[in-house]
Amino acid sequence: MDPCIYKDPYAPVEARVKDLLSRMTLNEKVAQMTQIERGVASPYYLRDLAVGSVLSVGGSAPFKNALSSDWADMVDGFQRLALDSRLGIPIIYGIDAVHGNSGVYGTTIFPHNVGLGSTRDADLIRRIGIATALEVRASGINYTFAPCVAGALAELCSHLRLKQDADDEHKCYTA
């Protein structure tokens, strides 16, 4: 059996990618580009089909009042299944944490992005991003839709009126 170059952390990235892709079936390639919702994740999808990503969408939690440690245990279990797949490719686990890591019991829930943007306080938004990142990472999750605040460039509805002078500077603060 030829060596698994893709598992060698010291091999050049290009060689690792080429080796891995040459070993993958078409079904494995499709599965790696697929993201499923946590509620349907199972050994069949993670180990047998080798799905590449799992996402928790609004309200999707391991169980009611799950703590960060409960989330981390769940993500670790999903990761073990993925690593037991034929090629042992880890999953990317994602969560919608736009308002903070609100699916985890006891974490901070932050206002909507337009509310944060209206504060015009870049430092506050940076601190919210840091808090969210720490809370997400503590739950074992490595991918998130984190707080993002963008200034409106046009009047979108009657209650949103932002000054649009040529000299205005529009910024997007992303955590």
Q: In what order do the strands lie in the sheet with 92-96?
A: 35-37, 53-56, 92-96, 143-145
Give tens-digit pLDDT for 64-96.
999 999 999 999 999 999 999 999 999 999 998
| pTM > 0.85: yes or no | no
Closest CA to 82 of 114, 48, 113: 48
Neighbours of 74 (CB within 10 A): 22
Reported residue count of the chain is 175
Beta bridge partners of 133: none
CB-CB contact of 31 with 51 (8 Å)? yes
Give tens-digit pLDDT for 93-150.
999 888 888 889 998 888 877 788 788 888 998 899 899 999 999 999 989 877 665 5
Q: How far apart are alpha carbons 63 and 67 in whole angstroms?
A: 9
The sign of the CA dihedral 36, 38, 39, 42 is positive
Structure tokens given for 5: 């170059």
Q: State the distance between the two ends of the chain, measured CA to CA, in whole angstroms.
A: 45
What single string gives the DSSP state of each residue in 115-152?
Answer: HHHHHT-HHHHHHHHHHHHHHHHHTT--EEE--EEE--
Q: How far apart are alpha carbons 117 and 14 in whole angstroms?
A: 41
Give tens-digit pLDDT for 157-166.
444 444 444 4
Phi, psi of 49 (to 5 degrees): -90, -20
pLDDT of residue 158: 45
Tokens 């994740």 belong to residue: 41
